[in-house]
Chains A and B, each alone.
Chain A
Amino acid sequence: MNGGAEDRLTRRSMPVAAAMLIWISRTVFGLLATYPLVLAVRATSMTAGPEGDAVLFQPGSLLLLELLRLGAPWFGAAVEFALLMLGLSAVLELIPLSMALDLLATPGRSLLERLARALRLFPKFLVLGVIGLLVQAALLLAASLLGSALKPAFADERLQSIMPLALIGLGLVACAWFGAVLDIARATLVRALAPSGARVALAQAVDCLRHRPLRVLLGSYSSVAGSALALLAAAWLLTRFVAPEPSSAAVALTFAVHQFAMLFAIAWRVRWLGSALELSAESD
């Protein structure tokens, strides 16, 4: 294999590596965050019978509801803790995200080097994350307030309930697009040879949106739509084809389908991150 072919192979394998990195981190964080919930379920003794936790998924959900009734005192605390862990995980996921962008931007570095770079960039990623959270919360709040204000103006009860939902939907689309702008800013930070600030990177990303609106909006839109499709298709497949009373084989199949859907969704995210890097480079 000559050097050029090897280089091409390396470049093609980078998106796969980036996707795997995000999947592994999401799986590890997911396992950690949900561990308190699993412990709470076990504490009820509802899974201590000969059929283990299969009884919770029997048609009719008689024993699933019994679990919720008996476990209510533990579940409140477990859910709170799990949500806290998920919040923390969302913050820590900035590190694998940074490494994934680095993988896509610059092949050839060792994993340790990438980790060191990600840790150096972490404060700037965090600043961008906080800005994103505030802007997205403001967008959703505005959509919600507008919905409440406009609701009485409609005499038709159907419009009264559709309109606020539609506004929230638009708010979510706007949030997704602002997330795309943040991704371009992150890409700018990862690509920067000299240290650059989060504010400068964000300004550059907004500038990119101004000059190439269609590429930014459609690129991120296809990524979000691809991810949503993967999750909905998994739900549809499992609802239609997996037996309601789960055997061990059904559990394995469910796990496989869910994780395949998750990988598919991550693959679309990685594709968009590649586009974000290109857009960032074109904006230099």
Chain B
Amino acid sequence: MRRVTQDLLLGGVFSALCGWLFKALLLTAGRTSAPELAAKKDEPVWPPLAESAAEVASYTIEAKLDAERHYITAHETIRFVNRSSVALNELWFHLYLNAFKNDKTLFLRSPFGAGRSGDKAKEYGYVDVKKLTIVGADAQDLWANRDRHSPNDPEDETDIRVPLPSPLEPGKTLELALEFEDQLPELVERTGFVGSFHFVGQWFPKLARLEANGTFAHFSFHAQSEFYSDFGNYDVSLDVPSTFRVGATGSRVSETRDKGRTRLAYHAQNVHDFAWTAWDRFETRSERIAGTEVRVLYPPHQEQNAEAELASVRFALPHFNARYGPYPYSTLTLVHPPESAANAGGMEYPQLITTGGPWYGTFGGAHFIDIVTTHELGHQWFYGLLASNEHTEPFLDEGFNSYAEAEALETRYGSASVFGGLGLSVSSTALNRLFSAARGEDEKIAQGAADFATFRSLGALVYSRTATVLSTLARVYGRERFNHALGVYTRKFRFQHPTKADFLNVIQGELDGRAVTALTLALSERATVDYLVREISNAPVSAPAGVFDGPGGREQKKPEAPHEAAEYTSRVVVYRHGTLELPVDIELRFEDGTKQLRHWDGNGFTFNVDNVGPSKLASVYVDPEQRVLLDDDRSNNWLTTKSNSTPRVRERALYAAQVMLGAFGP
């Protein structure tokens, strides 16, 4: 009995200690408090910031949700100003929701599944426009004259042309009235329902963006593509069952209840889209952060995720404000969808972002919740306020935002921005570089979303490689200098729909022409670079021997007898493969322990590093600070005369094997 009691006590104490250690190691690993941003010594000089966008397309919508049928009945008014230089004879509408109408749409016909999630639709969705009229004109239904424009996809109804009865002159305004109904799909990607959860994005008939030359930037909804729209103001009222909680773009301006229904009115200014969500199981938290009212909607039992998301906003909102110009809106809504509706997660809309992740997302040292929250928040600048064309130049949003996300997370968490625990840290920059190097030459970065061969290719190039290109510039030119250039770009082009050329112009002014060349090659030409070292040579310096004809006549000097040399001449040749010319440092280490740093501006294909000194050259390391993240292969950046040593690898491998034998052995 004594033995049983002893074992019971020991087992109990050990288990309690194991529980405590397990919690310390896995559940709370990687948690750090957000540091205050270091006070700036000198306030940078920024270009003036636009306070509002030129109003082109403003929408007033009254929508009613039938939560049982997942059906929306709506009335929409569009106030459209022709801000182009030519008269318009037609309008182009995006009916994005029709992407989920049948398996023959451009979006769903992919044999590999639909878009990013890879899931196929189970219950289809669509938008039916019942009527389109011009307010103040006769009641002619313009929708009757519409035609579809999805080349090779006759069943696709996402890109619609509507002829105007009379031209709309430059500067003139047109007011349109529409009746439409939505059948929401089961959530395939970002929009639809799962059970009583509804996420309603890209749900209303929306005008394509009008370019300055009078053309509409219209396109069929491709699974790899995102959006492009004009700025305007939105007044939207939503009629939902009173048991539902709602989150939406903009600020809530009124709420009325009647007969089990709630009518909520929202107003949003200077935005280019409107999305909303409604669910009867949402929990909410609100907090004022950096002058913005932040509200989190999250599923039951996910308080820890909600807190992590608020903590991310507490850090990232002031950080992005300082980097890219102040967030101009008074509200921000974060939506954490339930696990069953994960396809609604990780998306951005003006003043509303969706996060995501399981209830244990904050455990174990992984910063998944912080990553998704910071990334989607960053979109408020690159997608929301700059509003570049995500269909033709997706890297301007997703790529630049991936850089901004990594920069913010590394400011917050240092090198453990993706994972920190169990003695291992993984940074966002390292992860971006991994994907970038793996697929760097597959396709060019600067191309349309629909032109990428696969979504994986788009992911690696648009997100990771663009971020790696920008990180390389930041490391080569200095982080503060590059970040300032990016800050100039985001301020100068707020509400302006900038293009790649606009960004290159800023880089030309803020950095230099070499940076513009490197960027152009890296973004548009699939350019790569690989620095490598092949051999180290050392030779003793001795007095010159041979036959010398001098003023005093012919002199013959014999070679010196072998002896310990006082000096050595050393040479190493560094090669540059690829067409990107980026400057690098080269570290030389000598046998006596001294080090030298040489600089190569990257011009030419080879660079001879010569040295004469008292010690032999023992090793060489190209780019020891890892500035050129675009370097294709880092395993050839060094050479040493010593043998290849792996004590750390052997130690960890041995211990892992011992633990496995202990766990699974006899």
Chain A residues in contact with chain B, CB under 8 A? 26-27, 29-31, 33-34, 37-38, 41-42, 44-54, 56-57, 59-70, 82, 86, 89-90, 93-94, 97, 125, 129, 132, 156-158, 160-161, 182, 186, 214-215, 218-219, 221-222, 225-229, 231-233, 235-236, 238-239, 242, 244, 246, 248, 251, 254-255, 258-259, 262, 265-266, 269, 275
**Can you list 12 contacts pairing A with B, beta carbon distance less than 8 Å?**
A26-B661, A38-B646, A48-B635, A50-B589, A50-B618, A61-B426, A61-B427, A158-B359, A219-B3, A222-B10, A225-B14, A255-B651
Say whether B662 contacts A262, CB under 8 Å.
yes
Interface: B637 (CB within 8 A): yes
Smallest CB-CB A-B distances: 10 pairs: A49-B638, A59-B415, A30-B657, A225-B14, A50-B619, A60-B415, A60-B427, A34-B653, A218-B7, A222-B11
Instruction: Contacts A86-B660, A94-B666 given; indicate if A244 touches B423 (C-beta within 8 A).
Output: yes
Closest to B629 in A: A62
Determine if B651 and A254 form an interchain contact, defined as CB atoms under 8 angstroms apart. yes
Stretch at the interface among B91-99, B373-381, B430-438: B430-438
Rounded to whole angstroms, the CA-CA distance of A251 and B652 in the bound complex is: 9
Choose the segment among B16-24, B48-56, B151-159, B497-505 that binds chain A (4+ C-beta atoms closer than 8 Å): B16-24
Seed contacts A61-B427, A157-B359; 19 additional CB < 8 Å A-B pairs: A29-B661, A34-B656, A49-B619, A50-B589, A52-B645, A52-B646, A59-B425, A62-B430, A62-B626, A65-B431, A94-B666, A157-B338, A157-B339, A161-B360, A218-B11, A222-B14, A228-B18, A232-B18, A235-B423
Determine the distance from Cα of A255 to Cα of B654 in the docked complex, in whole angstroms: 9
Name the B residues within 8 Å of A156 (CB-CB). Answer: 300-301
Interface: B640 (CB within 8 A): yes
Q: Is B25 engaged at the interface, CB distance under 8 Å to the other chain?
A: yes
Min Cβ gap B117→A in Å is 18
Given contacts A56-B649, A157-B301, A229-B21, contact A69 B434 (CB under 8 A): yes
Contact A90 B661 (CB under 8 A): yes
Cβ contacts under 8 Å, A248 to chain B: 647
Of all chain A residues, the one with the shortest Cβ separation from B655 is: A258
A250: nearest chain-B partner, CB-CB? B648
| Proximity bits, B328-342, A CB within 8 Å = 1, else 0 | 000000000011100
User: Are B21 and A90 in contact (CB-based, < 8 A)?
Assistant: no
Knowing A34-B656, A89-B665 are in contact, say whether A47-B358 is a contact too (CB < 8 A). no
Given contacts A41-B649, A65-B433, A161 and B359 within 8 Å (CB-CB): yes
Q: Which B residues lie within 8 Å of A61 (CB)?
A: 415, 424-427, 430
| Contact across chains for A232 and B25 when beta carbons are under 8 A apart | yes
Q: How far is the CA of A161 from the CA of B359 in the complex (A)?
A: 9
Query: In whole angstroms, how far apart are the Cα atoms of A242 and B423 in the complex?
Result: 8
Residues of B within 8 A of A238 (CB): 423
Cβ-defined contact, B430 with A65, below 8 A: yes
CB neighbours of A125 from chain B (8 A) = 666
Main secondary structure of the interface of A (DSSP, over half): helix
CA distance A41 to B656 in the complex (A): 16
Within 353-382 of B, Cβ neighbours of A (below 8 Å) are at 358-360
Asked if A30 and B658 make an inter-chain contact with CB atoms under 8 angstroms apart, the answer reads yes
Structural contact, B429 and A60, CB atoms closer than 8 A? yes
Known A-B contacts A44-B635, A222-B7, A255-B651; the reply to A26 vs B21 at CB < 8 A is no
A45-B635, A48-B639, A157-B339 as given contacts; A227 in contact with B646, CB under 8 Å: no
Contact A265 B662 (CB under 8 A): yes
Would you call A232 and B661 a contact (CB within 8 A)? no
Cα of A211 to Cα of B637 in the assembled complex, Å: 67
Query: In the bound complex, what is the Cα–Cα distance between A37 and B629 (angstroms)?
Result: 27
Chain B: CB-nearest residue to A248: B647
Q: Is the CB of A47 within 8 A of B656?
A: no
Tell me the smallest distance from the CB of A173 to a CB of chain B, in Å: 11
B524 within 8 A of A: no
Using known A-B contacts A34-B654, A38-B650, A65-B426, determine if residue A52 contacts B644 with beta carbons closer than 8 Å: yes
Question: Contacts of A31 on B, CB cut-off 8 Å?
Answer: 654, 657
Q: Is the CB of B653 within 8 A of A69?
A: no
Q: Does B112 contact A (CB under 8 A)?
A: no
When chains A and B are docked, how far (Å) is the Cα of A33 from the Cα of B25?
28
Cα distance A34–B639 in the bound complex, in angstroms: 26
Q: List which B1-60 residues lie within 8 A (CB) of chain A.
A: 3-4, 6-8, 10-11, 14-15, 17-18, 21-22, 24-25, 29
In the complex, are the beta carbons of B646 and A226 less than 8 A apart? no
CB pair B640–A50 under 8 Å, yes or no, is yes
Identify which of B21, B620, B621 gathers the most chain A CB atoms within 10 Å of its CB. Answer: B21
For B402-438 the 0/1 string (1 means CB < 8 A from A) is 0000000000001110000111111101110110011
**A275-B7 Cα distance, complex, nearest whole Å:** 11
List of A residues within 8 angstroms of B453 by Cβ: none
- Contact in complex: A56, B666 (CB < 8 Å): no
Instruction: For residue A97, give the distance in angstroms from its CB to the closest CB of chain B.
Output: 5
Q: Is B399 an interface residue (CB 8 A)?
A: no
Residues in A neighbouring B659, C-beta threshold 8 A? 231, 262
* Contact indicator A225/B15 (Cβ below 8 Å): yes
Q: A31-B654, A69-B438, A232-B18 are in contact. Are A48 and B340 (CB under 8 A)?
A: no
CA distance A264 to B492 in the complex (A): 64
User: Does B141 lie at the interface of the complex (its beta carbon under 8 Å from any beta carbon of A)?
Assistant: no
B633 near A: Cβ within 8 Å? yes
Q: Which residues of A contact B4 (CB under 8 A)?
A: 214-215, 218
Is B647 in contact with A53, judged by CB distance below 8 angstroms?
A: yes
Check B7 against A262 for contact (C-beta < 8 Å). Answer: no
Bound state CA distance, A226 and B657, in angstroms? 19
Report chain A residues within 8 Å CB of B415.
59-61
Is there an interface contact between A49 and B423, defined as CB atoms closer than 8 Å? Answer: no
Docked-complex contact A62 and B18, CB < 8 angstroms: no
Nearest to B664 among chain A residues (CB) is A90
Q: Which chain A residues lie closer than 8 Å to B299 at the CB level? A: 157
**Contact (Cβ within 8 A) B429 A66:** no
Q: Which residue of B lies closest to A98 (CB)?
A: B666
Q: Are B646 and A53 touching (Cβ within 8 A)?
A: yes
Q: Does B517 contact A (CB under 8 A)?
A: no
Q: Which of B360, B648, B655 contacts A246 (CB 8 A)?
A: B648
- Chain A residues with Cβ below 8 Å from B661 are 26, 29-30, 86, 89-90, 93
B636 within 8 A of A: yes
Question: Closest approach, in angstroms, between the C-beta of A19 and any C-beta of chain B?
Answer: 12
In the complex the two chains form, is A70's CB within 8 Å of B633's CB? yes
- Name A233's closest neighbour in chain B (CB-CB): B21
- Tell me if B665 and A93 are in contact (CB < 8 A): yes
Q: How far is the CB of B2 from chain A (nearest CB, A)?
A: 11
CB distance A34 to B657 under 8 Å? Answer: yes
Say whether B634 faces chain A, with CB atoms less than 8 Å apart.
Answer: yes
Within the complex, the shortest CB–CB distance from B243 to chain A, in Å, comes to: 16
Whether B645 and A47, one on each chain, are in contact in the complex, defined by CB atoms closer than 8 angstroms, is yes
Contact yes or no, A239 B635, CB < 8 A: no
Are A66 and B437 also in contact (CB < 8 A) when A56-B648, A60-B425, A239-B25 are?
yes
Chain A residues lying within 8 Å of B300, measured Cβ to Cβ, are 156
Q: Given the known inter-chain contacts A218-B7, A227-B662, please indicate yes or no for A157 contacting B340, CB distance below 8 A.
A: yes
Residue pair B645, A62 in contact (C-beta under 8 Å): no
